[in-house]
Structure 1
Amino acid sequence: MEEARLDYVLVPLGLTVFGLYHLWLLFAILHRPALTVMGLNAQSRRQWVFSMMTDPLKNGILIVQTLRNNIMASTLLATTAITLSSLITVFVSSKSTSAASKLVYGNQTLTISSIKHFALLVCFLVAFLCNVQSIRYYAHVSFLATLPTSKGRRDSIEYVARNMNRGSFFWSLGLRAFYLSFPLFLWIFGPIPMLSCCCIMAFVLYFLDTTTSFTRQLHIDSMKEEPKTADV
């Protein structure tokens, strides 16, 4: 295969491997959540919300502190993403200006390089937007979870738990965008490192995203006692 055509074959192949893994992960989260860390964490967060909202006035400080920690984590990732996006924009702009006089008709080098930087920029912008959306949900939950009128109302508690899980899912999406930035960054050095990184990352993420039988058993034992508000 010609060296110039490697980008057209290996890059889509690497993205396909990365995308297929996350399609499988999404299917597992929706249909067999106990097999994934995200599914177990979503159930634990729901149980935590039911436990805290049995007495919102008594547990209000703990609720706000816990949500504040989550907001700080999302803020850190959002700040990092927008900073990296700004740096990439400045780098591409300066490079385009300096290379404008050297651009020869038919030369594709600058075009491919621009696509690589643009893909990285979009990746970090998606991470920024997902983390901002996560902050929005966490801030909204901090108000809803401390309302004394929600005590004993299952529909209100379910709504709070659902919004908290949405905030966590957006945080996970932002983190996945950071994971995707690694193979996109290695694409600058060539399509072969990019493909290798996609395969290695999908293999590593499988062990990070799936649960063991021991973990599932611990979670089942912790979920045996249903919160009292579930009977309301």
Structure 2
Amino acid sequence: HTPNFTGSYENTLKDYKRTPAKPMMDGEPLYEDHPIEFNAERNGHSVSVDVRRPLYWDLFSGAFGHTYGHHSVWQMWQPGRDPINFPLLPWYEAVDQPGAWQMQFGRRLMESRPFLTRIPDDSVIVPHDVKTSVPGAGRYRFVATRDKNGSYAMVYVPVGRPFTVRMDVISGKKVTAWWYNPRNGKAQKIGNFSNEGTHTFVPPQLGENSDWILVLDDADAGFKAPGK
């Protein structure tokens, strides 16, 4: 129960690449409001961004789905019951925590583009000279997925910082770019670009807990806004 990009997400990709291919998913990522590394007194508790990151780390690395958990819900804690490892609120309030509601936006995003031809591909991301910046490390690991036929690509941006992508992963001559907000499921169009070389994008909001998804579409594909 760490908020960092660890070997478990690399194992998602390894399992995806096995032959014959089989569906797989992470059965127990970090729970919301869970003591970080089981030590609340030293590390505090996870927050919504800490459960959003595993959602996209797993999905973009080849998982067919995802699981969500909350520290109060698994033990059904409420006043009058013995707490286990510092639950923050009763289970009947925890079911409405932000991270729980935000899981639906991941599904909407995935289902708004061709699903069965999607493959993991971090080569979409151009590494920075300082690789711990991009593709990043710890909480701030960028990951990418794309349509194997070139109709779209997506990059999960776990922290608000500029990054560069390859445009040639898209098949068309023009690329339509979008920002998708994993906190509210809303998309905003960035614009249309020539499909040439690389392009640097700057998220609309910078900062440590400002995660985003960059969506690149073949402009001729006629897709609706991400999540629609």
Bin the TM-score by the shorter chain: under 0.3
Larger radius of gyration: 1
More helix per residue: 1 or 2? 1
